[in-house]
Structure 1
Amino acid sequence: MAKVAIVTGSATGLGAACAVDLADRGWNVTINYTKSKKEADETYASVKERGGDAIVVQADVGRDADCRKLVSETFKKWGRIDGLINNAGTTKFQAQGDFEGVTPEDFDRIFRVNVTGTYMMSRAVWPTMKKQWEENKQRGSIVNVSTNATVTGNGSSIPYVASKGAVNTLTLMLARMFAPAARVNTICPGFIQSRWLLNGLGEADYNKMKDDMEQRTLLCQAGTPEQMAEAALFFLTSASNITGEILIVDAGSHLGLIPAKER
């Protein structure tokens, strides 16, 4: 029987790449979106083309009822849940030094989706993963998506970086609470070539950052959604003896960019 995963925020970008990669590995997938229905349907079609089964569920992970709906509809479809990728997230882009660029309301919204949403989705899958472990010793896996900005302190905004730091700490606590029924790990991507980042930064800043990644990181790479999905699926499908781990995936950019003259 094929394994089943929920991937939140999987209409585009990293989430969509995870859904497609899972289908290539024989998994069935719940594709989740909040607003991007057209893109979610396209991801669904890509999963089906690769032989995977899928459903598309609209849900806001910042709402507990929606989190429980995602889990309920997944279980109703396949009768099991083996994996969860907490990818859905939000931010507000804040200019360097502009302390008035974010409000307390921005903090509330960003933490509600990025931190509370990660917690509520994990809580919602817990009864199913616990039961599968107790009855069949089938261990589940949860992968959270954070950011390398939790190490560098250089991200889209203060509340975004703070929220992802909280996700890293939450990962450690959840790894304890879910053991031994499930493993819980986190990836911390750096720059990802995506529409989300392009829209947030603007074309000029996006292209400059992309050029820096390609020319001045240790691996001379600007990360792709597919590369980040490789890391997420390593934790989800392969790393059977790893839990509570936080992995930076950024071509070495957290170690600093190499001066252009040295390239």
Structure 2
Amino acid sequence: MNIDTKTAIVTGSSSGVGAASCIEFAKRGWNVVINYSQNKSEAYKIEDTCKSFGVDTLVCQANVAKEEDCKRMVEDTINSLGRIDVLVNNAGTTRFCDYGNLEGLDKKDFQDLYEVNVIGAYQMVKFATPYLKKVNGAIVNISSISAISGVGSSIAYAASKGALSTMTLSLAHALAPEIRVNGVCPGFIQTRWTKGFLGDRYESVKKSIEKASLINKTSLPEDIARGIIYLAVDAVTTSGQLLTIDGGQLVNQGKI
């Protein structure tokens, strides 16, 4: 274990944005913690990719909705890699429901989403903070443009991401000056997860969003990962900010 090598924990990193972020950190020579809840085989594939850049890794099965899992992930990171310099709260979940169908969501739907999207992030911050303070580290929370627009896979999802964005700002105040805290608000991302839930509608939805954006593009996971790396590593005087990465969709509302 080389405790001089910086380490990043990325929750929900067996695929998509989380996986791309781990790879980007590894390319920079950082050790990485690859977290999965269920997708073990994919997590170990990402580990192999990261190790090809000569870094140390830790694959950790944990459900961030469970406080004991969050605590264990942080403890295992310290025991295995010796330090925590960046925490990326990427793990998230949703429940799909048409906005007009108020009967389609119940109390449990909101609780399930908040447990992962908001409380899970808070629990990770709580346990990682003592170690992040030692190195003047950084936290990046992955929110969504749904937190700004109010539109997304469901009202419960948008509400949870709105809460995460507000919590990001609160944590920036609470953890200053030792720890910088920022967030990323992605728009449509071309991921396997997105394709899975949209099914046959994927291409039509993608094209409509591209048409509604300023640059006629939607993001790849790597695009979001580069934004995360910027806030976590490069933007050393930036805290309390929410970076929107959506191809200019939100500022081009007139075309939507």
Q: Does TM, scored on the shorter chain, surpass 0.5?
A: yes
- In structure 1, the residue matched to 2:142 is 145
Residue 88 (structure 1) aligned with residue 85 (structure 2): no
- The equivalent residue for 2:163 is 166
Q: Does 1:232 align with 2:228?
A: yes
Matched, 1:62 2:58: no
Distance across 2 between alignment mates of 1:216 and 1:176: 35
Q: Any idea what SS the aligned residue of 1:80 has?
A: coil
State which drifts further: 173-182 or 208-217. 208-217
2:122 maps to 119
The Cα of 1:234 is off from its aligned counterpart by 0.4
Any idea what the Cα deviations from partners look like across 1:80-133, whole Å, max 9, x if unmatched?
A: 110000000000111231112222101000001100001000001011122x1x
1:44: how far off?
Answer: 0.6
Match of 2:192 in 1: 195
Could you tell me how far apart the structure 1 residues matched to 2:169 and 2:255 are?
35
Gaps of 5+ in 2: none
**Given the alignment of the two structures, is residue 105 of structure 1 paired with residue 101 of structure 2, yes or no?**
no
Distance (Å, rounded) in 1 between the aligned partners of 2:119 and 2:79: 24
- CA 1:225/1:147 → structure 2, altered by over 3 Å: closer, same or farther? same
Q: Distance in 2 between the 1:203 and 1:47 partners? A: 33
Asked whether the 8 Å contact 1:194–1:225 carries over to 2, the reply is: yes
Using the size of structure 2 for normalisation, the TM-score is 0.95
Further displaced range: 185-194 or 170-179: 170-179
Q: Deviations over 1:124-147 (max 9, x none)?
A: 1011122x1xxxxx3100000000
Cα distance, 1:245 vs. partner?
A: 0.5
Deviations 1:39-79 (A, max 9, x none): 11111111011222111000000111000111000000121
Q: Which amino acid in structure 2 is aligned with residue 237 of structure 1?
A: V
1:40 is aligned to 43
3-state SS, counterpart of residue 84 of structure 2 = coil
Distance (Å, rounded) in 2 between the aligned partners of 1:50 and 1:161: 37
CA contact (8 A) 2:150 2:159 kept: no
Q: Is the 8 A contact 1:14 1:225 kept in 2?
A: yes
Provide the C-alpha distance between the structure 1 equivalents of 2:106 and 2:116, rounded to a whole number of angstroms.
Answer: 16
Shift of 1:161: 0.4
- What is the match of residue 135 of structure 1? none
Match of 2:246 in 1: 250
Q: CA deviation at 1:259?
A: 4.5
Offset, 1:257:
5.5
Q: Offset at 1:10?
A: 0.1
Decide whether the 8 Å contact of 1:93 with 1:201 is kept in 2. no
Tell me the amino acid that sits aligned with residue 100 of structure 2.
G
Report SS of the residue matched to 1:211.
Answer: helix
Give the equivalent residue in structure 2 for 1:218. Answer: 214
Q: Is the 2:99–2:155 contact (alpha carbons within 8 Å) kept by the matching residues of 1?
A: no
1:72 matched residue in structure 2:
75
TM-score (norm 1): 0.93
- Report the equivalent of 2:14: 11
Separation of aligned partners in 2, 1:101 and 1:196: 22
Tell me if the contact between 1:20 and 1:47 (Cα under 8 Å) persists in the aligned partners. Answer: yes
Aligned residue identity for 2:156: P
8 Å contact 1:218–1:257 — kept in the other structure? no
For 1:196-243, what per-residue CA distance to the aligned partner results, in whole angstroms no more than 9, with x for missing partners? 112222222x21121123333101111110000011110001110011
**Structure-to-structure mapping, 1:19-34, within 5 angstroms:** 19-34=22-37
Shift of 1:181: 1.5
Question: Aligned partner of 1:199: which letter?
Answer: G
